[in-house]
Amino acid sequence: MPGHYSGSFVPFTVSDLAEYKLMSTTWHILGAGSLGTLWATRLARAGVPVRLILRDETRLASYQAGNGLTLVEHGEAHTYPVIGETPDSPTPIHRLLVACKAYDAQAAIAQLQPRLVPDAELILLQNGLGSQDAVAAQLPLARCIFASSTEGAFRDGDWRVVFAGHGYTWLGDARHPTPPLWLDDLHIAGIPHAWSTDILTRLWRKLALNCAINPLTVLYQCRNGGLQNHRCEVATLCGELSELLECAGQPAAALDLQDEVERVIHATAANYSSMYQDVANARRTEISYLLGYACQAAARHQLKLPHLQQLHERLVDELRARGLPRD
């Protein structure tokens, strides 16, 4: 995809590094889930100041009963004593990594609003689209940086995460294309990343891939590879999604969409999609920020996409039948 570049990185000397860390702004991390823990442990391991914001006193007490956050990587577990706090702790927040699910982001930010300095920086890790704009509208003076990640992690216990898939995180700010200086923290922490000048295109492309694959894996109860038996349906969806991307002003995200969807289905044939796993574990899905967002965008553009619409209805019916939230 065009238009991204890595932040430039000048190697630090040992004394530069010590001074840099002393001057570093604290990273507040909202949510000790899979991605929040993956980021918190790597930043802490590098000596970057981190504080973890937990839901409430009960979660904080449970966290403080242990030794910290554990990262399991290449089969080895290491624990880092990251400081925990609740949303109503008094310290101001200058930089916040928002690592909750898309459907929790607005409420979590509203709770933290009194602590956010006016020009706070937020990094939004949520999948799909819709939650990022909602958060940005809540905080008009803050800098909201959108992220799209191909890293994969899952929790195999409380306060413990397994780094399951090494990948990359693209970060970008559609309103201000200048990269922030703190990308150096990510270099120091070994978090693979790139600053992207087309982050919305990346998020739309990922949303389209997700809409073409994930809902069908739930409806057909199959691994990604099972969709090789439903090629016509996948192709029809790709056609409609490409139309939507063109109409939404994202033609670059539509380029060769069907080819990439087929490549992903083939390359990840043995995997269960994240939506499949959410449904299988009776967890709420992020449907409203994926297929739901796509259908709403089509309606806004007065675009008739009958197969996409029908897919949404079938998925909602499936969630209802399983007693799961439909949004």
For ligand NAP, the binding residues (CB under 6 A) are 30-36, 53-55, 59, 87, 99-102, 104, 108, 111, 125-127, 149, 151-153, 155, 286
How far is 141 from 121, CA to CA, in rounded Å?
A: 9
Which of 261, 246, 258, 254 has its CA nearest to residue 214? 261
| Identity at 145, one-letter amino acid code | I
Closest contact distance (angstroms) between CB of 274 and ligand NAP is 6
Closest contact distance (angstroms) between CB of 119 and ligand NAP is 22
Asked if residue 121 lies in contact with residue 94, where contact means CB atoms within 8 angstroms, the answer is yes
Which is the catalytic residue, given 21, 101, 206, 304?
206
Closest residue to ligand NAP in the complex (CB): 33
Largest Cα separation within the chain, whole Å, is: 61
Residue 206 bears catalytic tag:
yes
Closest contact distance (angstroms) between CB of 302 and ligand NAP is 29
Which of 22, 2, 156, 145 has its CA nearest to residue 77? 156
Nearest residue (CB) to ligand NAP, 149 versus 217: 149
Nearest residue (CB) to ligand NAP, 165 versus 177: 165
Query: Encoding tokens for residue 164?
Result: 């399951």
Closest contact distance (angstroms) between CB of 67 and ligand NAP is 18
Closest contact distance (angstroms) between CB of 150 and ligand NAP is 7
Asked if residue 151 lies in contact with residue 35, where contact means CB atoms within 8 angstroms, the answer is yes
Q: Is the Cα torsion angle 280, 282, 283, 288 positive or negative in sign?
A: positive
Nearest residue (CB) to ligand NAP, 31 versus 242: 31
- Quote the Cα angle for 33-276-315, to 5°: 115
Nearest residue (CB) to ligand NAP, 79 versus 86: 86
**Can you spell out the DSSP letters for 234-283?**
HHHHHHHHHHHHHHTT-HHHHTTHHHHHHHHHHHTTTPPPHHHHHHHTTP
Nearest residue (CB) to ligand NAP, 170 versus 195: 170
Residues with catalytic roles: 206
